[in-house]
């Protein structure tokens, strides 16, 4: 509820830290402060995106492990100061977080970030452009035409354009 300010803007991006195989002994464990910086790195995004360069509508952090609230607050403040994160003007304190005291398997702690960010707009543009390329060539439309009206494709494209405009 806190991550979706308007019903149409409900597309979240996620990042996870630490993001590595627990079976690889060459990877050194990350310190708690480092995983907070990792979640803003493009390499840790689950969906290929760059949220740091865009505006956040809201952000939810889910932490696992033996972590104190003061450490979390300190790291959030540090990130806001160092990274100069851009939040929408009506939600400047857009962080929500929750802590689960059970650590992940073979790790001391982990951090999942769910964010509502305007960078999702770029992914929708890419999807729309790929769709237009296929639709102009009428690829695979004969399969759909057997079961539905092809006008639904245009309606769906309009819905995607509306989402792009809103973000």
pLDDT tens, position by position, 9-58: 899 999 988 866 555 666 667 788 888 888 888 888 888 888 878 888 89
- The three-state (H, E, C) secondary structure of 86-114, written as one string: EECCCCCCCEEEEEECCCCCCCCEEEEEE
Nearest to 56 by CA among 84, 35, 37: 84
In the chain, where are the structural domains located? 13-118, 123-166
The CATH code belonging to domain 13-118 is 3.30.1330.20
pLDDT in tens, 89-112: 888 777 888 999 998 877 888 899
Is domain 123-166 given the CATH code 3.40.50 in the classification? no
pLDDT in tens, 66-82: 888 999 989 888 877 76
pTM: 0.80
E strand spans, 21-147:
55-65, 86-87, 95-100, 109-117
């Amino acid at each position: 509820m806190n991550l979706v300010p308007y019903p149409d803007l409900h597309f979240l991006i996620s990042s996870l830290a630490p993001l590595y195989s627990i079976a690889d002994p060459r990877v050194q464990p990350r310190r708690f402060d480092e995983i907070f910086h990792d979640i803003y790195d493009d390499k840790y995004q689950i969906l290929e995106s760059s949220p740091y360069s865009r505006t956040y509508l809201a952000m939810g952090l889910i932490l696992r492990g033996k972590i104190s609230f003061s450490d979390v607050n300190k790291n959030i403040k540090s990130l806001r100061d160092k990274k100069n994160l851009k939040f929408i003007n009506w939600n400047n304190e857009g962080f929500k977080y929750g802590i689960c005291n059970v650590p992940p398997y073979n790790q001391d702690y982990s951090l999942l970030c769910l964010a509502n960010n305007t960078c999702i707009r770029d992914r929708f543009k890419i999807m729309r452009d790929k769709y237009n390329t296929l639709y102009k060539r009428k690829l695979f439309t004969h399969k759909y035409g057997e079961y539905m009206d092809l006008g639904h494709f245009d309606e769906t494209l309009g819905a995607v354009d509306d989402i792009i405009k809103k973000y």
